[in-house]
Amino acid sequence: MTAPTPPVPGARHVHSGKVRDLFELPDGNLLMVASDRISAFDFILTPTIPDKGEILTRMSQWWFEQLGGLIGNHVISTDVPASVAGRAVVCEKLEMFPVECVARGYLAGSGLVDYRARGEVCGNKLPPGLEDGSRLPEPIFTPATKASVGDHDENVDYEAVVAAVGDDAAAELRTLTLAIYGRAEEIARERGFILADTKFEFGTRPDGTIVLADEVLTPDSSRVWPADDWQPGRTQTAYDKQFLRDWLLSAESGWDRSSGEAPPPLPEHVVEQTRATYIEAFERLTGQSFR
């Protein structure tokens, strides 16, 4: 990926992920810019999804506000250059934990694959007879490695987190992940959604305080289903990237996931439906109008 041009004179490009570009500002703080890029199956797809970066940024900000009494976050200001207004935030420089902190309350995705193969997810034993979309007896912590662009996040067990960050930090990350998921799931349910699973990223301030970082509880990082349509035993209606994933795996796309080749460009109807899904999720969740 070509390094993007810094939107602020004197800023330095630090990192680009699948969606976000990070710059160090002259004052030492960071500028995190959410692009309109979208990824699936570890590929960055073309074309982009119009307005996606702004939707993700606004949704994250809404969630950070809802969770403020539970945990702090990395956002310092939304006063950003005009060229990235609405899709960027100024944030603290943190020491990031090298792990994706995933909470699951329902069985889907890679968790479902692992369960069908071994009867467990990331070392969490689960009862027999669960189906696609089943609600778990209680939410579970199912961490994953942080992968570079083009690589695949791998589910790992709790012991791998202990090995990476130590006993105390691992315990705190697990506790925080499940507490935040529990509160977010309540909020989502009040608005007619099921928050099936989600992933968080955490970092530490110089004084050791752990805070939320990156983005939080968006369709990019969460499985979100309409509560009134939930039915275990089948693929759920989703307010996330599932529509796009389904198209890529369909005969219409003509793409063979096992080929190692990049997926084809997204057709206009997939781009439009993906954008509409993200906007509907934002508006139904927050009660705000996107435009």
What DSSP character marks residue 217? S
Q: What pLDDT, on a 0 to 100 scale, did the predictor assign at position 151?
A: 54
pLDDT in tens, 107-146: 999 999 999 999 999 999 999 999 999 999 999 999 998 7
Q: Does residue 286 sit within a domain?
A: no
CA–CA distance, 210 with 215 (Å, rounded to integer): 15
Q: What pLDDT, on a 0 to 100 scale, did the predictor assign at position 198?
A: 97
Q: Does residue 265 sit within a domain?
A: no
Q: Chain-wide mean pLDDT for the chain?
A: 94
Residues 174 and 147 in one domain: yes
Q: Does residue 277 sit within a domain?
A: no
Residues 21 and 59 in one domain: yes
Q: Does residue 206 sit within a domain?
A: yes
Strand, coil or helix: what is 11?
Answer: coil
Taking residue 207's Cβ as centre, other Cβ atoms within 10 Å add up to 5
Task: Kindly indicate the confidence band of residue 231, based on its pLDDT and cuts at 50, 70 and 90.
Answer: very high
pLDDT in tens, 85-101: 999 999 999 999 999 99
* Residue 111 belongs to domain with CATH number: 3.30.470.20
Residues 105 and 175 in one domain: yes
Residues whose CB falls within 8 Å of the CB of residue 208, separated by 6 or more in sequence, listed in order: none
Domain count, the chain: 2
Q: What pLDDT, on a 0 to 100 scale, did the predictor assign at position 1?
A: 60
Strand, coil or helix: what is 100?
Answer: strand
pLDDT in tens, 49-94: 999 999 999 999 999 999 999 999 999 999 999 999 999 999 999 9
Residue 175 phi/psi, 5-degree rounding, is: -60, -45
Report helix angle 167-190 to 52-66, nearest 10.
100
Q: What pLDDT, on a 0 to 100 scale, did the predictor assign at position 12?
A: 95
Q: What pLDDT, on a 0 to 100 scale, did the predictor assign at position 148?
A: 57
Q: What pLDDT, on a 0 to 100 scale, did the predictor assign at position 283?
A: 97
DSSP strand E in the chain: where?
12-16, 20-24, 30-34, 39-40, 43-44, 75-77, 88-91, 95-96, 99-106, 120-121, 124-125, 135-141, 144-145, 193-204, 210-213, 222-226
Task: Kindly indicate the confidence band of residue 152, based on its pLDDT and cuts at 50, 70 and 90.
Answer: low
Q: What pLDDT, on a 0 to 100 scale, did the predictor assign at position 147?
A: 63
What value does the mean pLDDT take over residues 2-18? Answer: 88
Residues 102 and 133 in one domain: yes
CA–CA distance, 160 with 172 (Å, rounded to integer): 15
Query: Cα 207 to chain center, whole Å?
Result: 27
The boundaries of the domain holding residue 24 are: 12-91
Q: Hey, what are 263's tokens?
A: 């997926």
* Residue 48 belongs to domain with CATH number: 3.30.200.20
107: nearest Cα among 195, 196, 228, 226: 196
Residues 196 and 78 in one domain: no
Given a cut of 80, whether residue 2 has pLDDT beyond it is no
Residues 106 and 190 in one domain: yes
Q: What pLDDT, on a 0 to 100 scale, did the predictor assign at position 150?
A: 46
Q: Among residues of the chain, what percentage have pLDDT more than 70?
A: 97
Residues 152 and 242 in one domain: yes
pLDDT in tens, 236-278: 999 988 889 999 999 999 999 999 999 999 999 999 999 999 9
125: nearest Cα among 114, 135, 134, 133: 114
Residues 21 and 41 in one domain: yes
